[in-house]
Amino acid sequence: MAEDLVLDTAIRDWVLIPLSVVMVLIGILRYFVSKLMRSFQVPDHKIVKEGQVIVRARNLRASANFIPPKSFRSRRVYFSNEENGLLFVPKGQAQNAQAQMFSDPNMAMDMMKKNLSMIIPQTLTFAWVNFFFSGFVAAKIPFPLTQRFRSMLQNGIDLSTVDVSYVSSRSWYFLNLFGLRGLFSLILGEENATDDTQRMMQMSGFGFDPSKSLGAEKDGLDIVQHEWALPKFEHRAEAVLKKIVS
Amino acid sequence: MVSKTEETQLNSLENQVDNGGGGAWEYLCLVRKLKVRRSDKVFKYGLSILNDPKKRSALGPEEWTLYEQVAIAALDCQCLDVTKDCIKVLQKKFPESKRVGRLNGMLLEAKGSWAEAEKAYSSLLEDNSLDQVIHKRRVAMAKAQGNISEAIELLNKYLEIFMADHDAWRELADIYVSLQMYKQAAFCYEELILSQPTVPLYHLAYADVLYTLGGLENLQTAKKYYASTIDLTGGKNTRAPFGICLCTSAIAQVSKGRNREDKESPELQSLAATALEKDYKQRAADKLGLLTSALRSMKF
């Protein structure tokens, strides 16, 4: 149980290296295909305007202390006013955003295309790995693991006595999947379609982005207490001038 | 806006290129990055690179960016033929390009055919109504034709959508000041201060506008902003101490009858005056007499 299994070097030549090479090639292929399929998305008026409103509101919150109180108050009213304030989103509209996003044909097509380009190669490669490279020990992980990882890392190997550090090629596939991201950004430059994990994280945070952030900005703005910083500056200027004159 | 280190770097590169050392390409790249307007130099050196086929092929894909840069510089130097040639080359390479369309529009503008340029820009806007640069070109056109009210209207419409664009706010503030619409200009400067609170230029300009508007409250606010300018520039700015002296004497005049609140730094004016005298003694000693007489007339 604790003795070392000697793994054939042929495994390294015919399993590990070809698998990595294939994944790199598939990644490059996906990158070029996505470049070809990328359609120019006409930015929507409303979304651009909302983005800019948010930036402006954030600036207002951040530097509120630099402008006179009257101007700050008038700007705050302009933004969070009940009837036509820029940041005010009536409750009903907030729900619509997500529904709209799914019913908008262009956006739905775009999302589908992105999903497909991500899912299909992954599925195919996974099936290929399973078909060809299963049933044997592929590699040994250098650090010891607990028994809980056995089902995840060793599914081709049906011996329960083998140390969990010996893994099947499926785990090598997953390792490559997440690890080649760095390599791709070296080869292909920053924006490449192989950033699956990033995309997956983005998808879960999708949905109501615009109206929620507007509401958040409005709340932030309501909270801000205006404390005019300028009177302090007079004293500071005095100090500066004193230093210069002396 | 360009920081001081970047400006010194640019100037040193420029000197180097002027005096025959190499580095023209780095100079052009730096100009492009910093968006500085040095069209005559860009035109001279860019054209020399483009006319030399060996250097041109050494640039690779950057060649087209250089064509665009030289085309715009040529427009500024009124060498329209060079511009036409550059645009022809670019159009052959990128036939359906919006950037080339924009260059065409700028060429029409430079020739003075405003109506055609307007038509070209509107057709470009139809394809992509959110192209910021084209909107700004239309404003520039209106301003160049002398039609300031239309420029203001276009700029306002632009700012309704792109309200975080501080260059546009700056332009609007300039236009309002030129038309003496000081209250609106003050609003624009406030926007600028909000987005970039540590740039002393905006504080100074805002203080100027407030001082021009007049009225006790505005004068007091202006004084505070002159003080903040001094603070932000570490005392190196010369206009700000002048502003303080003027504000203090103006406040004194306006509030002659009522009792002045002396809690706000009474020393500020005398300190400012002394700092000014010291500065003038160092840098322009012959004008010191003018300064002292002016300051004396300001002191009540």
Predicted confidence (pLDDT) at residue B262 exceeds the cutoff of 70: no
Please give the ipTM for the structure prediction.
0.73
Q: Which chain B residues have a beta carbon less than 8 Å from that of A67?
A: 190, 193-194
pLDDT at B209: 92
Query: How far away is chain B from the Cα of A34, in angstroms, using its nearest Cα?
Result: 21
Burial class (CB in 10 A: 0-12, 13-18, 19+), A40: exposed
Average pLDDT of B161-188?
Answer: 89
pTM of model > 0.90:
no
The pLDDT tens digits of the residues spanning B192-223 come to 888 888 888 899 999 999 999 988 888 888 88
**AA letter at A218:** K
> A with B: how many residue pairs have Cβ under 8 Å apart?
99
Contact A195, A36 (CB under 8 A): no
The chain A residues in contact with chain B (CB within 8 A) are 42-43, 45, 48-49, 52-53, 55-56, 59-60, 62-64, 66-68, 71, 230-231, 233-238, 240-245
Predicted confidence (pLDDT) at residue B245 exceeds the cutoff of 70: yes
Place of tokens 């664009």: B165
Total residues found in chain B within this entry: 300
Better pLDDT: B142 or A148: B142
Place of tokens 């715009």: B72
- Cβ of B39: how many Cβ atoms within 10 Å? 19
The pLDDT tens digits of the residues spanning B44-77 come to 888 888 888 887 777 777 888 888 888 888 888 8
Instruction: Among A62, A68, A241, select the one facing B271 at the smallest CB separation.
Output: A241
- List per-residue pLDDT tens for chain A, 246 residues long: 455 777 777 777 777 888 888 888 888 887 777 777 666 566 677 777 777 888 888 888 888 788 888 888 888 888 777 656 666 665 555 555 555 555 566 666 766 777 777 778 788 888 888 888 777 777 777 777 777 777 777 776 777 677 777 777 888 888 888 887 777 777 776 555 445 555 554 444 343 455 677 777 777 877 877 777 777 777 787 777 777 777
pLDDT at A43: 64
CB-based contact A231 B195, cutoff 8 Å:
no
Distance (Å, rounded) from C-alpha B135 to C-alpha B99? Answer: 14
Average pLDDT of B155-165?
Answer: 86
Residue A149 DSSP label: G
Please give the structure tokens belonging to residue A129.
């790995």
